[in-house]
Structure 1
Amino acid sequence: MNLPVPHLWLVMVAALSVAVAAPARAADPGEALDDAMAQNAQVPAMGMAVLGAGHISALAVRGVRVIGGQARVVPGDPWHIGSDVKAMTAVLIGRLVERGVLHWDDQLGTLMPDLAMQPRYAHATLRQLMSHHAGLPHDLVNAGMRAALFGDDSADSLGAKRLRYLALALADPPAGRSGSFQYSNTGYLLAAAIAERATGETWEVLLRREVLMPLGMDKARFGTTIDGEPQGHRGGHATGPGDTNPPFFAPAGGLVLPLEDWAKFCLDQLAGARGTGRLLSPAGYRMMQTSQGAGEYGMGWEVVARYGGRDGPVLVHAGSDTNWFALAVLFPYNGSGVLVVANAGPDMGGDAAVRAAVATVLPDLKPRDP
């Protein structure tokens, strides 16, 4: 039956009003974690924090602290973020540079003259160390010696243990040509040792004073989780302190913290991209968040042109000690981001679960680019 024109107009307006008033529903972070864990059934627990407009817009956790256990994770639980601590080490070094204690073009041979090293390394600059362009291998090449140093339970200071590791690592031949991108944990351990030499204080003291405390990250700590907290997992079972990076390795990958504390750091990075960060000058944040040299790496961040079909630049970093998997994805120019972590390593699907959860909420962070 044909409607009179006035009634037809009212129907059209009503339909238009419904269309305008009912935008696509935003992804629910809890549901995103549920779906990711259903697809990767070995993952015991996950957490997610969605960032936007200068705050945490949503936070969710799912699962159990230990595989086969009954205790469920809660929002305040700590998670191991692996190499995602590198961005914090980079900020620490940036603060020392802005204070004039260090300089980006200082060379390693001058900064650490008492350490014997391959000749090429002596000319590597602090800037190259922080952006993985110093030619250093990923880790100490001698796996047996690395295992021995990782198991060192002596009472020596963490700084002394770092120097023992570095003395061997700097004897390893370069992993690539000068100036080429080679991701290296050793470079960040060197940066920590340089900061310690320049200030007379440990990296742990410096990071807490220069980065964690100013941002109110008072629940962050070094090492890994303890009994009663979420445990890392590998090979289908829970792991412990002896299965992760040793304490001296923390500048490259050894920090545990609740999602809320991690978010405080990443929110400051987003603010810094807009000139309102609390820890560095605008130029300092630009340095961190701009690709250096030949690789898509700034300082502590991958800086990629696109992520998931969305134009960037996008700040991305994954971290894993093989027992956990953490991923941060930040869009500095619209102030949004997401942090996701799983208490399972890649062999149990931790990486796949984290990436699946990120993909679910990505449309809410930034619409797909044409």
Structure 2
Amino acid sequence: MQAMKLPFATRCLTVIAGMVALVAGAARAADAGAALSAAMAGTRVPAMGMAILRDGHIAALAVRGVRMTGGSDPVLPDDPWHIGSDAKAMTAVLMARLVERGALDWGDRLGRLLPDVAMQPSYARATLAELLSHRAALPHDLVDPARRAALFGDDSAASLSDKRRRYIALALADPPARREGAFGYSNTGYLIAAAIAERATGDDWEHLLRREVLAPLEMDHARYGTTGPGEPQGHRGGHATGPGETNPPFFAPAGGFVLPLADWAQFGLDQLAGARGQGKLLSAAGYRRMQSDLGGGYGMGWEVVPRYAGRAGPVLVHAGSDTCWYAIMVLFPARGTGVMVVANAGPDMGGDAAARAALAAVLPDLAPVEP
């Protein structure tokens, strides 16, 4: 079949439009880079990165700084970053896919989902929906910090699933932290969710997440754990930190994997598309549930707020830090825009403050001022 030839004027306009888009993209990337440089000035943050989302695409991606304090190797656009608790939204999507497939139900109670695990009665009555929206009465982490430290330092050959089950067995014996149904942020809840997914499918969480979330979104460079040699390093207390100073691999469902900004952006873009009923992973109802305030200003893996930093919402936002890194994603579903900022320094070195400063510089281009 012969290709239809466009009129000369139309072809010229198409070329011009493409050039305008390229120039606009370059300008946004320059703006993002300038925002990072300004945010880092005078701080102890070695490096930062930013990606801006608009109209279903990455509108800009920029990185600034060095991989390790005192070093000279610059961060690169495809370098990985630790995103901490921002992993929770991905675990929530995995659980929603299992619900939509019929392997689980939002109304299932923990006592039924984990019948072989002893637990406090109030936990047994909590539903899967309450678990993922932090309304299962669970403490933030294990109550006994010594037990938590022992589990985090466990370098045995036990599987990641077994290590999670050990953690969960102790956590479900801890007394409830609040009344049933009340909001209270909990890392433990997302480790329990991983165990539920594993029991329902017979597969481990790591493989499930890659198959159900990462692979469909072509997040091919995401991995569990932390960064290694020749990559950006996390920082705390003024120095670079090693693998033993961050969350262990078994903790990944709540916050423990690394990925480049471009990969993380694919997840944000899918969440924005899902808000319009065009996501790849869930039904429109599935996205709507996880992006709705289910109590305490939290959905499933997202804070759901009417405004952010003076910008009109609704807004989906989540920040994460293992104390050595900082990451935050802010999405404006009604506008189809969003931004993510990362830093290879924890809050004690100003990673969070620098991220907020970088956000403040670009938010005016993403959402209007709240009326």
Give me the CA root mean square deviation.
Answer: 1.2
For the 8 Å contact 1:27–1:361, the answer to whether it is kept is no
Give 1:129's aligned amino acid.
L
Q: How does 1:4-43 map to 2 (within 5 A)?
A: 28-39=31-42, 41-43=43-45
For the 8 Å contact 2:224–2:256, the answer to whether it is kept is yes
Match of 1:62 among 53, 61, 64: 64
1-side partners of 2:312 and 2:360: how far apart?
15
Aligned residue number for residue 321 of structure 2: 320
2-side partners of 1:241 and 1:25: how far apart?
35
* 1:143 matched to 2:121: no
2-side partners of 1:46 and 1:62: how far apart?
6
Q: How does 1:157-236 map to 2 (within 5 A)?
A: 157-236=159-238
1-side partners of 2:120 and 2:63: how far apart?
47
Aligned residue number for residue 308 of structure 2: 307
* 1:124 matched to 2:126: yes
Q: How does 1:346-365 map to 2 (within 5 A)?
A: 346-365=347-366
Q: How does 1:237-248 map to 2 (within 5 A)?
A: 237-248=239-250
1-side partners of 2:28 and 2:216: how far apart?
36
Give 1:358's aligned amino acid.
L
2-side partners of 1:46 and 1:31: how far apart?
11
Change (3 A) 1:178 1:38: same
Change (3 A) 1:337 1:325: same
For the 8 Å contact 1:27–1:364, the answer to whether it is kept is no
1-side partners of 2:111 and 2:243: how far apart?
34
For the 8 Å contact 1:215–1:264, the answer to whether it is kept is yes
* 1:292 matched to 2:290: no
2-side partners of 1:168 and 1:208: how far apart?
28
1-side partners of 2:360 and 2:178: how far apart?
34
Q: How does 1:252-267 map to 2 (within 5 A)?
A: 252-267=254-269
2-side partners of 1:69 and 1:51: how far apart?
31
For the 8 Å contact 2:126–2:136, the answer to whether it is kept is yes
For the 8 Å contact 2:99–2:106, the answer to whether it is kept is yes
SS at match of 2:41: helix
Please list the CA deviations of residues 324-352 of structure 1 after superposition, one character each: whole Å capped at 9, or x if unmatched: 00000000011000000000000000000
For the 8 Å contact 2:29–2:60, the answer to whether it is kept is no
Unaligned runs of 5+ in 2: 1-26
| Offset, 1:369 | 2.5
Match of 1:76 among 71, 75, 78: 78
1-side partners of 2:149 and 2:28: how far apart?
50
Please list the CA deviations of residues 10-31 of structure 1 after superposition, one character each: whole Å capped at 9, or x if unmatched: xxxxxxxxxxxxxx99980001
| Offset, 1:235 | 0.2
Give 2:206's aligned amino acid.
E
The structure with the largest alpha-carbon Rg is: 1
* 1:283 matched to 2:318: no
Match of 2:117 among 115, 125, 141: 115
2-side partners of 1:57 and 1:47: how far apart?
14
For the 8 Å contact 1:26–1:364, the answer to whether it is kept is no
2-side partners of 1:82 and 1:25: how far apart?
27
Give 1:315's aligned amino acid.
L
Change (3 A) 1:25 1:266: closer
2-side partners of 1:149 and 1:156: how far apart?
11
Give 1:317's aligned amino acid.
H
| Offset, 1:67 | 0.3
Please list the CA deviations of residues 141-191 of structure 1 after superposition, one character each: whole Å capped at 9, or x if unmatched: 100010000001111110010000000011111111111100000000000
